[in-house]
Amino acid sequence: MSGGLRIALPGGALFADACRLLTEAGVAEVDPARFERQLRVTAGEVTLATMRPTDVPVYVEMGACDAGIVGKDILWEQTRDCYELVDLHFGACRLVLAAPEGSPLAEGRFPQSLRAATKYPVAARRFFDSRGLAAELIKLHGSVELAPAMGLADCVVDITATGRTLTANHLVEVAEAGRSSARLIANQASLKTRSDAVNRLAAALRRTVTAAAVAGAAG
C-alpha cells in the first residue's frame, strides 16, 4: 500500500512498538526478529532500515529515507529540515528538571547560579530561557542522575517515563520541561514527489493510533 517507501526505524526502546504499529496499520508485516541479522529489510513494498534513534532524522532529512519513526526528544536536539506528520503516542516520556531531595531547588527556591547536567542541552536551554533562569548546562552522554550525587551539578534535566530512576537516586521533580512521544517524520521532497504514498502511510498510522487510544479509553 505504501509504494516503495523507505522508512527509518529507531533501534532501542521504541523499536518493538514501531514494528507492531506498522504491522497493525497494514503498512507492512514487520517481524522484529528479521532485524537480528540485518539492518535493512524489505517487507512487501516498503524498505525498512533500523538505526540509532539520533540517526533517524539524518537519514530522513538527507532523503536516504522517505519517512521515519523517532521520539520527539530526539527532534528537540537536532535542527533538521523534516516534516513532523503524526503523533504516534507510544514511547511517551517527559523531560523534567529534578534536584536532590532537600536541596533549595527541590523546595522551589531557585539559587542564583545553577549547574544542570543533561543529555538534552537544546531542550534544557529552551526551558531555562523561557523561564528567565540562568543555568550553566553540562552536557553528559549517560546516567545524568549521577551528576548531583557526585557534586558535578546542582540538578538534572532528564527524560523520565515512570520516575523510578529519579526516586532511586534521591531526586525530586521540580518542573516539567517537555513531553515526548514517538513521531512520524517525512522528507520534504518525498512529501511532494511521493505525496500519495507518504499521505497514505500517515493516514494509516494516524487511524491505528487513534483507534488504539479509543480502545484504551474504553478498556
Partner 1 sequence: MQGGACLDFAPMSALQSPARGRAGGFADWIGAAAQRRRAVAEAFVDTFVAWGYDYLATPLVEPLETVAAGVGGGLQTQLFRFMDADGSLLALVGERTVSVARVVATQLQDAPLPLRLCYAGPVLFNRPPLGGRRREAMQAGCELIGHGGLSADAECISVAAAALQRAGIDGVQIDVGHADFVPSLLDSAALDPAARERVAVALRDRDLVAVEEALSGTEAGDAERELLLTFPTLRGGRDILDTAGARIRAERPRRVLAELAELWELLDHDGISGSVHLDLGAVRDWDYYTGPTFELFSADLGFPLGSGGRYDRLLAAFGAAAPATGFVLHVDRCCDALLRGAGAQPGAGALRLGYPAERAREAAALAARLRLAGIAVALDLEPSAAGGDRPVADGAAHLDGGGALLWRWRGRDGSGIESLLAARNEAAG
Residue numbers at the binding site for partner 1 (CB under 8 A) = 58, 61-64, 72, 81-87, 183, 187-195, 199, 202
Residue with cell 514511547: 91
Residue closer to partner 1 (CB basis): 147 or 191 = 191
CB of 114 to partner 1, least distance (A): 26
Cβ of residue 153: shortest distance to partner 1, in angstroms? Answer: 25
| Segment 28-32 long-range contacts (CB within 8 Å, at least 24 positions apart) | 28/2
Cell of 216: 484504551
For partner 1, the closer CB: 123 or 147: 123
Task: Give least dist CB 60 to partner 1, A.
Answer: 8
Q: Which of 74, 93, 100 is nearest to 156 (CA)?
A: 100
| 30/198 with CB nearer partner 1 | 198
Nearer to partner 1, 161 or 189 (CB): 189
CA 145 – CA 169 distance, rounded (Å): 7
Q: Which candidate, 26, 109, 118, places its Cα nearest to that of 73?
A: 118
Rounded least distance, CB 187 to partner 1, Å: 5
**What is the CA angle 183-195-206, rounded to 5?**
35
Q: What is the closest distance, in whole angstroms, from the C-beta atom of residue 22 to partner 1 in the complex? A: 18
Measured from the CB of residue 54, what is the shortest distance to partner 1 in angstroms?
12
Q: Among residues 119 and 183, whose Cβ is nearest to partner 1?
A: 183
Q: Give the helix/strand (H/E) hosting 60.
A: helix 56-61
User: 532485524: which residue's cell?
Assistant: 35
Position of cell 538534552?
A: 120
By C-beta, is 42 or 188 nearer to partner 1?
Answer: 188
Residue 47 contacts residue 5 (beta carbons within 8 Å): yes
